[in-house]
A and B are shown apart, each in its own frame.
Chain A
Amino acid sequence: MLELNNLSKRYGSLEALHDLSFTVNPGEIFGFVGANGAGKTTTMRVVLGVLEADSGSVIWDGSPITFAVRRRIGYIPEDRGLYPKMTVIAQLEYFGQLHGLTRGAARGASTALLERLGLADRAKSQLQSLSHGNQQRVQLAAALVFSPELLVLDEPFAGLDPVAVDAMTEVLRAEAGAGKPVVLSSHQLDIVERICDRVGIINHGQMVTTGTVRELTERGPVRFWVDAPSAGAGWYDSVTGTTLVEQDGSRWLLQFEDGADEQAVLRTALATGPVHEFRRDRPALTQLFRDVMSGEAIDE
């Protein structure tokens, strides 16, 4: 388990991180979302030890993280970087060896990984001759070649087409399925919503909120969509605490105050005739993200 406790970091007058804490459990994909400059990359660099925090701690399995543990982290930095003129296979072998694999083991792991990522036929190509998407796959391979215990991926989906996103997702799910914590940051909230088990929203260096996607989207007001073609205006008035938010043809979006009984609303709707839809309205993460950001802006 990876724990970040009360991390703070200043660059001169800019406070990049302020008392930031979160936890990533084994087998969990944690999505780290925030605007540009919110502190995502700084946080990841602190975890990797590439940067030093001014205060706070990074804890791995109950003890402060050490250089030896950090070397077991698979890392994709925000600024991608590999040797353009090295072949794909030589590059992966190099990273495998740097992480302590023998030459033979590094070669075996590299070959297997290229097979898995669909790059086996490009093994002997120079990196610079590969398409952008394939270079990204090699970058992922470089982070995985030594069988890391933890993955830290800064914007792993940036610049990927939908097919490549699916391939990347599949690999990350498999890694998490093997019990590894996975931390990733992304701007693509639809992807985060789809693949992350838990999400943290960071703004101005502070963790604004964390939780599962479901928890986050249920934090707003309770709203239900009801599609009842036979119902007339004000059919829901008999149920206390119910107000209309929006009507779209035969579909009604109702908001329930605390304590309102949604089953009573359903029975009332059924009493008017057929009900085609009765569904909890969950805002997309994108909407939630906007709400959080604008909320923060107001708070300041």
Chain B
Amino acid sequence: MNSRAVIRVIAAREFMARIRTRVFAITTVLTVIAIAAYILLQAYVFNKSAPSLDVGFVGAAQSIAAPVRAEAAALGETITIHPYASAAAGQADLQSGTLDALVSGSGASTTVTVRSAVDPTLQTALNDQARQQVLTENLTQHGLSPSGVEGQLAFSVSVNELSPVNAARIEQIVIGLLVAGTLYVTLIIYGQLVAAGVIEEKSNRIVEILLATVRPWQLMLGKITGIGLVALVQVVLVAGVALVLASATKLVSIPTLGVDVVISGVVWFVLGYLIYALLFAAAGSMVSRQEDVSSVALPVILVLVAGWIIALTVAAPDPGSTATTVFSFIPFMSPVIMPVRIAAGVAPFWQVAISVVLAIATIYILAAVAGRIYRNSVLRVGGRVKFSDALGLAPSRDRVV
């Protein structure tokens, strides 16, 4: 029976044992809800419907009503004009809540009355139109043509953006962070499941029968593969839901989410999972009880958290920066940072290739080191195995073959 067959049998058991658990169902549903909530919130913030105001104009103020409404409309707000002959009637409607604001007076003495706070867009429009009114009056008094002066003033300063932030760019960063965030959460959850699974076999002592039949590295790789496939199923489910929702809410249009981003997301998930699962497996093999898992898993988790913080604070704001580029090469960071760069479209192929090669090399080295720690630790019960013993550096007391 060759190694591949052994690993397949072990992985199949892990997969079947875990895919049917309540933990899998709960974490899948919770992740989907979290992603859906995030996307819906984003959609709400981006597509917030324009507010609509009822504004009363008293007497002379009615002369600026139409220009104010036009300017507010240009700024994205809808104003409904309610003319009033007397201030008293307007005040009454304002008090009763029928009106949002009541404008009276004219020119420099234009006054707006509101219940508590004035809408900033309305205020801007009123200021502009009242000043305009004063300006027009002054120009006329000095014998100038208001329309001629306005024609000369009808220009804007030209804007020259060196690196424009356009809607598509924000969309790309959102996608990058979604991919990286999904990987981050999944790596944390499934990495710890690997550690817990190793300890489970150690604490219920089944590992001794297993190691009488299979090699330690086969057991470790089988476990990592099985749990990894469960994670992959979850990632695909969550990513699918996220894409459908994001597309439905128009936040992300599927065409901008290139096939390259999806494929690279899966590739980086596999690479990141292998790196962290090996670390978590080695960490788990060094203790004997589930209560101790946090003490050995913490250093691994911290590295992963650091990667995610860098993704959020360095990579997302400026995916093209030198710092982001450097971090995207570091094997323990690359799985959560490179996807942001790829989605932003600032990662040249050769850089991605080098980063992937570095990650694969790291996996090979880790497989040897983690395999050694696992082999030296997994049959030792009791307290935490010392690091030097786990690496087999100290003279062997209880070497397992």
Instruction: List A residues at the B interface (Cβ < 8 Å).
Output: 11-12, 45, 48-52, 67, 70-71, 73, 75, 77, 79-86, 94-95, 97-100, 142
Contacts and interface: CB of A to CB of B under 8 A. Distances in A.
B23 to A, nearest CB: 12
Contact of B400 (A11, A50, A79): A50
Interface stretch (B210-218, B227-235, B254-262, B304-312): B210-218
A81 B204 contact: yes
Interface string B373-401: 00000010100000000000000011111
- Most chain-A Cβ atoms within 10 A of its Cβ — which of B13, B213, B381? B213
A98 B206 contact: no
A79 B214 contact: no
Contacts of A45: 208
Contacts of B204: 81-84
A83 B21 CA distance: 14
A95 to B, nearest CB: 8
A45 B207 CA distance: 13
B10 interface: yes
B208 A50 contact: yes
Given A79-B208, A81-B207, A142-B209, A98 B10 contact: yes
29 contacts: A50-B208, A50-B211, A50-B212, A50-B400, A50-B401, A51-B398, A52-B399, A52-B400, A70-B213, A71-B1, A71-B212, A75-B209, A79-B208, A79-B381, A80-B205, A81-B201, A81-B208, A81-B209, A82-B204, A82-B206, A83-B17, A84-B204, A85-B17, A94-B9, A98-B210, A98-B213, A98-B214, A100-B1, A142-B209
Contacts of A142: 209
Contacts of A50: 208, 211-212, 379, 400-401
B6 interface: yes
Interface of B: 1, 5-6, 9-10, 13, 17, 201, 204-215, 379, 381, 397-401
B400 A51 contact: yes
A82 to B, nearest CB: 6
Contacts of A71: 1, 212-213
Contacts of A84: 204
A20 to B, nearest CB: 18
Given A77-B205, A86-B17, 16 more contacts: A11-B397, A45-B208, A48-B212, A50-B212, A50-B379, A52-B399, A71-B212, A73-B212, A77-B209, A79-B208, A81-B201, A83-B204, A94-B13, A98-B213, A98-B214, A99-B213
B401 A49 contact: yes
Contacts of A73: 212
Contacts of A70: 212-213
Contacts of B209: 75, 77, 81-82, 95, 142
B341 to A, nearest CB: 42
A84 B17 CA distance: 11
B206 A81 contact: yes
A82 B400 CA distance: 20
B4 to A, nearest CB: 13
B386 to A, nearest CB: 14
A98 B3 CA distance: 10
Nearest to A11: B397
B213 A77 contact: no
A105 B248 CA distance: 50
- Most chain-A Cβ atoms within 10 A of its Cβ — which of B1, B5, B201? B1
A81 B400 CA distance: 18
Nearest to B17: A86
A52 B9 CA distance: 26
A85 to B, nearest CB: 7
A51 B210 CA distance: 13
Contacts of B400: 50-52
Nearest to B208: A77
- Most chain-B Cβ atoms within 10 A of its Cβ — which of A67, A77, A98? A98
Contacts of A52: 399-401
B205 A79 contact: yes
B105 to A, nearest CB: 79
Contacts of A82: 204, 206, 209
Given A51-B400, A94-B9, A83 B212 contact: no
Q: Which 10 A-B residue pairings sit nearest by Cβ, starting from the closest?
A: A81-B205, A81-B206, A79-B205, A100-B1, A48-B212, A77-B208, A52-B401, A97-B9, A75-B212, A81-B204
Contacts of A77: 205, 208-209, 212
B29 to A, nearest CB: 21
Contacts of A80: 205
Contacts of B213: 70-71, 95, 98-99
Nearest to B8: A97
A81 B205 CA distance: 5
Nearest to B222: A98
Contact of A12 (B210, B215, B397, B399): B397
A37 to B, nearest CB: 15
A11 B389 CA distance: 13
Contacts of A75: 209, 212
A11 B398 contact: yes
A11 B400 CA distance: 12
B139 to A, nearest CB: 87
- Most chain-A Cβ atoms within 10 A of its Cβ — which of B204, B207, B208, B212? B212
Contacts of B13: 94
- Most chain-A Cβ atoms within 10 A of its Cβ — which of B209, B398, B399? B209
Contacts of B10: 98
Nearest to B6: A98
Contacts of B206: 81-83
Nearest to A45: B208
A71 B212 CA distance: 7
Contacts of B397: 11-12
Nearest to A47: B212
A90 to B, nearest CB: 8
Contacts of B5: 100
A98 B209 CA distance: 11
Contacts of B17: 83, 85-86
B144 to A, nearest CB: 90
A82 B215 CA distance: 18
